[in-house]
Amino acid sequence: MGRWKEAHRIHGLLRGVAFPFLVIGLWWWAASHRLGGGILPGPKDTLDAFARLLSSGELQSHVGISLLRIIQGFLLAAALAIPSGILVASFPGFGQLVLPTLEFLRQIPPVAWIPVLIMVLGIGEATKLAVIIYAAFFPIFLNTILGMTQIDHQFWEVARLLQFSRKEVLRELILPGAAPSLIAGLRLGLSNSWRALVAAEMLAAFTGLGYMIMAARSLVRMEEMFIGIVTIGLLGLLFDWGWKAVEKHVLRWRTR
């Protein structure tokens, strides 16, 4: 049985890597046949450019700046969204007051606010942080409310009978009970904020991966554009895998 599972896992892994190799093969063929007007770089040219960016430290600098922005903005978004979600779920009257406005704002893509933020805040770090917070806020906020509403009413009765303090209710009831939905919201919020940050860096930055792609575009360095795009995708994938590991660890009691 164990041998069959291992073979199945290896087979699934091979299937997963087959398609990327197919894409690389098609990419090499298109570049060698000078498709796309002859400006499409091949895999070797892109690898050479990647080595050049690494040796100069330029790629690491852009990655570090983007990561610092996403960490700061995401933590601020979580610090705003989680208490707000708990407050709205705990006081329905307050929720009726603010939810219509928040639902309206949720329909507006973060990118639409970038020109306004540039006019108000300039192209400094405040604009990028505002875009990240806006993109991450709503998934975290809504999933916090969902997690609160999914806590069984009997648990609230037990907490009331045991005369839990507010801190104890938060620590012993709300956070464990809402954890599955909350972690899902944090994962989605991080994914949304990462994409929004890249868009903000393309329009209102002189550093970061988004700026790197736009700068390469203006200089017609397509290999650097590809490097920036692939780096964004790989980092986003690492973020997602990291949240899956966190979810598996925090919610390990669900599998017992």
Q: What is the pLDDT of residues 184-223, one digit of tens each?
A: 899 999 999 999 999 999 988 889 999 999 999 888 888 9
Average pLDDT over residues 219-245: 90
Nearest-5° angle of CA 181, CA 195, CA 118? 115
**C-alpha span between 219 and 216 (Å, rounded):** 5
Where residue 38 falls among pLDDT bands split at 50, 70, 90?
low
Distance of CA 13 to CAs 10, 110, 244, Å? 5, 36, 18
H, E, C per residue of 154-194: HHHHHHHHCCCCHHHHHHHHHHHHHHHHHHHHHHHHHHHHH
Q: Which CATH number fits domain 63-201+230-251: 3.90.190.20, 1.10.3720.10, 3.40.50.2000, 1.10.490.10?
A: 1.10.3720.10
Q: Determine the pLDDT at residue 227.
A: 93
Rounded CA-CA distance 205/214 in Å is: 10
Displacement of CA 85 from its chain's centroid (Å): 19
Token output for 88: 């709205």
The full set of domain ranges for the chain reads 63-201+230-251
DSSP state, residue 41: P
Q: Which amino acid is at 57?
A: G
Least reliable range by pLDDT among 21-30, 35-44, 189-198, 204-213: 35-44
* pTM for this predicted structure: 0.82
**Range 17-24, long-range pairs (CB < 8 A, 24+ positions):** none
pLDDT (tens digit per residue) in 47-99 = 889 999 999 999 999 999 999 999 999 999 999 999 999 889 888 888 899 99
Cα–Cα dist 189/191, whole Å:
5
Give me the pLDDT at residue 124, please: 86
Give residue 122's identity as a one-letter amino acid code. Answer: G
Which pLDDT belongs to residue 46?
86
Mean pLDDT value across residues 165-178: 69
Angle between helices 175-203 and 110-121 (to 10 degrees): 60
